[in-house]
Structure 1
Amino acid sequence: MDHYPPLIRPVNVVEVPYLDGVYDNGDFANYPTRRGINVQALLNGDLQHNSHNQILEFLQTWFFFGMIRDFVEVDITATDFVKTDENGKKFLTTKRLPVYLGEWRVRIEKEQKSTDENAMLQLMQQRERRLESFFMTSFNHWKSFRPVDADSLLDPPMRLCLQLLGSLLEFTVSHLDFIDLDRDHTPWRCPTTCENLYFPADLALQYYASLLDPPGSSIANPQPRGHRTCLYNHKSCQAENIDPVTYKTLHTEPSCNCTFVAVDQDVVRSIILGAKADEHGIPLVCWTPGEDITGLEVVPFEPGMKYTVLSHVYGNNFRCVVIILIPSAGPTKPIGWPPVARTNTKIVVKSATFGSHHSAERNKTEDGRKTAIRSMREIYTRARTTLILDAYLCQGTGYARYEEKFTRITVAGWQRRMWTLQEAILSRRSYVQWSDMSELIHPIGDLQLGWKQRDVWSCYHNNVGCAKFNFATSAMVGIERPALIYNMFHQMKLRSTSKPIDEAVILATLLALPASTIRLLQDIPDLEGRLQAMWTALLDPGIPSAVLFLAGNKLSRPGFRWAPKSLTDCGFASMPNDFRHVVTPRITDSMFVGVSLEQPGLLVDTPPKRPTSLITCRLEGDIYYIRRSKLIEDDWKDLDLSKIPRLGLLLAQNPSMHASGRQNLVAAVAALVAVEGEDGSELRAQWLRQVSIFKAGSRFDIAVDPPWRPEEIEEKTRVVEASYLSVRQPWCIT
């Protein structure tokens, strides 16, 4: 999601006319009975002496007003949810809904404070059962009225309205415990992120709405969806076309008018490090938008000015100092975090938080000011990245312009954590955003069978209408965890703005690993250490063995030489889709020594002479070539296979079988290992290289890619013997 934030108005506003219905504030499920309408007969086309408009009014009153009333458990006023335009027409609105939901939350919080633990548990269970019944009932009725033909009783705008309402209510009660919505200033996330996540429905529903096609759109009459068509507002750049190093959008045409907001980092550095106390005072910086370019301007010190430095110091090599400029006319009532108010008066900076997370508001005296300058510059000296934000960007939510959101990601690495957390919310709701659209993910099983017991019981509406999003993972419903991990790894290549050091955190978040694991990954500064911790967490209960056959650089640490160093850089053309074999951790004397798996393979004799990139072997009378991976530049320069007593080959997939029962191998992706010993039937081996094996004379030999090199042609004449192992050969790989 970090590259594709919610857009303000991706399609025209969908307005739903108010049909003058007044809800009786009774029970939701029994409302049709109170109105004297048989729902089943209505679904069969019997309007029961009512006009079509009367039925529309009944459905709107029941679904829209009834859902709100049954959720908040207080009587509602219809006028709170109706707006009137300049022409006197009335439309539905949810502008007052946050007030009702806020009061609902306050009631729950009061219950928690005034009730003992056992009684509180009973109340919570009763509320969960009631809400589960409510959401299931409303969802099933809503689903019954989904369009099956052109004469559907619910028109597209009303359907969309009800789905978003149901989604919003579900988000309101969702358990987001692993994100800790307590606004605690822990080092692994920004406090502003906590505030944004405190009302997750706002961000997520804007995001959903930005991806939904407008009612009535079709293949014959497509509508643009933001940058997805690269034509939104006549923009001529690809939003997905992003430089992987700078995170800056690459323009496809010189005349691109997307007004991408960026800042010259050299200018930032010169301002921060070069500002003198007697010239500029504290080097606070603000945006200075112009017609052609957006620049930076130093804000001079004024007597009585207050200021803040919000310092985020992470253990992952992203050290960042954030300067927040907050325009204010003086003390104001706090609005969220940080406390902000926007007027046309001078700039005043209100609160201060430093790397040790202690608050400080400096004195108005000159001595206090100089002390502050020294403290701030000490932080600047240690900072590797400096992010400059004005108040709009700092408190920006989904309403911020696309360019503003993207700027956050461009100028500071730590801000990507914010998007990862928002992506986690989508993941908990079973959506994952990749580089061009979102996908539906069902990690454990069917929704109706209790999938994600802790919170998905309240997510019926969020799982409706996902066919338009779901293009690659529909077959994932009900699959086991190793297959899900395999799919996640495979889809990582679709992310357009991820760097290798982010991968561990992203995967841990998407796979809903415990919060302690995510925090641990955030605190590990080096790439290999972070990935080792991630693989350790994923190995229990197991990962697909297909991961071992990803072409690319591997970790160098003992026990993890099989583990990819970067998923986005792997050659996914080599990744088999056979995930029947599972890799689990091998623990010896309470120490992790490697991984265990059952995988088909070969034993290969030691070559008489050191090969450069090819081993020729005879397998049951046929000649085979074991060749270095074509997807990475690896000439085995640091590998002398002639000194290894016994070699082995792990095959990524089972060979085909002759009618006689013997194995028949034509070609396969494989892993070359050094066999170090045996424990019963298990072979203990050290992972060496990603290779491929193919039969001489096969199409893989005739059309070999890349072409045979001269030294390989010579090596083809040196033949060693090889033999099949069992298709379920036990291995311990270090």
Structure 2
Amino acid sequence: MADHLFLPDNPPKPLRIEYSGPQYDGGDWDTFPARCGWIDESGTENFPQGGAVPLEYQSMMECWLYFGMLHYVYGDQLDQSDFLCEDEEGCQYITTKHLQRYVDDVDDWENNKRGARSVEIVNKVLENLPRYISWIRAKMSFAIRLASLTLWNIVIKRDGPQVEPRCSGLWFLMPEEATQMVREGWCPLDAQKCIAAGIQLDTRRVCCNWFVPKPAGTTEHMSSGGGIPLVMITPSGGDGNQNYELKIVKKRTGKPYVAISHIWADGLGNPKGNSLPHCQLEFLYKRARLLLQDKEYIPYCDDNTYGSLHTGVARFAHFAVNTARRGDNSVLVWIDTLCIPHQSDVRSLAIQRIRDVYSNASRTLVLDSGLMVLNSSSSSKLAVCLRVLYYSGWIPQLWTLQEGLAARTKLYILLSDKAINIGTIPDVLLNKVDKGEIPIFQDGIATMAAGAWYSYFQHPTDYASVFDRFVLLGINQGQVISRTWFSVATRASSKDRDRPTVLAGLLNLDLRNILEDMLFLDGPRFQEDGLRWAMKVCRFTGIFSQLVHDSGKITPRGLQVTLYSSLIFPSCKMFNLVKSNQSDLEQRQKDLERWADEPELDPDRLATGTKVLQLETIIPVNLSSNETYGVILMSFQLDTITMCALVSLQATENGVQYARYISPGFIYAITLNMSELPEEGYLMRGTWDDAQKREWIVC
């Protein structure tokens, strides 16, 4: 799927959507359902509502919405076999490998009004898809949404802005879809990128780790007497017997050094001591020396107004430093393996200074075995950027996030032939997009690659700056905190206690300012009175929930919550679906009618369906009778699934609700019908109209 994109040729986790249905008959799109017999002349389906759909109808629906959409645009020019492929075992799959050929002919696009037809059919498909989405396969629904979005993007590129379809929200992944992706082996960070960017984020990767045996050999033990310790590597000997002398020195002004950012799985780590084998030292020396002294890496600025001045100053400083060091062939390097002592007290202090290490470095060099297979001469800047974002082992690590943020535009990635500045590539990509220098199918992915890079390595840095936070416009505080929280929570780390440290360091922010949104996140919590709302760790637990706002206040009695709308229900208004499903059908009917025997619901309407709210908690709970519960809503959009926090109301004093935290969860409106009674959660008599702003103190 999405084979029209140029990278990667062989993704480690390809999206394969099997298709064994019919080919489109070439007739009118609107009347296809009637021709196939699943809709009668009045427009009614010829099968029971809520019942199983015959398989032949399901395959026809998929054909109509996918191949019918393509036929609507390209007519008889469409060869449907171009969009199907077979594997070695003869299974047939959807492919878009040849889609490029159909859209390359600009004259055909204009002369045959392909753009107008694309707009028409995309609107039709998106309006009909909600009606059929429960009857077709989930992966085929994904393919239909992806194909419609691809056509829409081509229209925007070729014909200019259009009125967005009413159902354009279907182009975004739902949290439950992302959760399923994780179950199938996807990295949760990448699944979240798809949620944030839409399903047009077609590059795929899967979390992986390389195992490399720990290197043998020892070097002098490293320790620090304060400040930022650097290791000075000086070659000694010669004639094929090259050795290296190591010395720990303090960072000094005017002495450039290279900071190394790496993952230990690649072999540059050593858990037993501050040492590296000879071959690794030689490798570090040669790469760092080249990065500091070679003319290719002289800084430059391409700003139209002051670019030449800045470049001139940078070049002068570069040559001045190298002239002063003439005859000195040593190189200064910072790498955690050598520069962070293993003693726990000193190690803790050194870790707190890591941000300064990378922000003060002249260059930061990323070493990742998965990136060293690329060659700079045969890989475009977009390909390199995508490889770093979605296929490297470096990007998912917790500490490398902080290192990349601190390095900013001084971040270099080592490829097979040389190091290139990855920190400047996003700006280059956006400039190419603005100038129309990116191929049509790569245009959107280039924009999103740059956006993903900025969201990781630019926006948090701007937000951490006091000046940028309060002076510059366009920094959305809630979004920056939300993305950074999730980015920290989903990255790999052997120590969960490091996550809050990294989060606070990235944003230069007191963590107490974002505690209010912890109500909606899943994870282990404290059990002490007054702290049951508080999470113990910032870690991804399988639920795609994010922080949204950035305020909160800790009081002696618990967490003060003021931002959100909420619902209040006595237990008598809540119907336990799990318990009722354990009863026989007749007893369940009686229980439901007894529960509905209030002004809010009419028991006579249960047979035909009526609107109620359904609550599902992430932590299984058995609610007590004769208690009152509160549901604090994270967002408030009618008829949508909304994240929430379930609390038990303890008291109300001066308009403030005091409550005990129970569990995060989801709440949504459903049409209740006895023949389709849900199996889990609680039903609540009431509607969205009952939600209102209240002040809570949650303990």
Q: Same fold (TM over 0.5)?
A: no
Bigger proportion of residues as helix: 2
The TM-score normalised by the length of structure 1 is 0.36
The TM-score normalised by the length of structure 2 is 0.37
- Which one scores higher on RCO, CA 8 angstroms, separation ≥ 6? 1
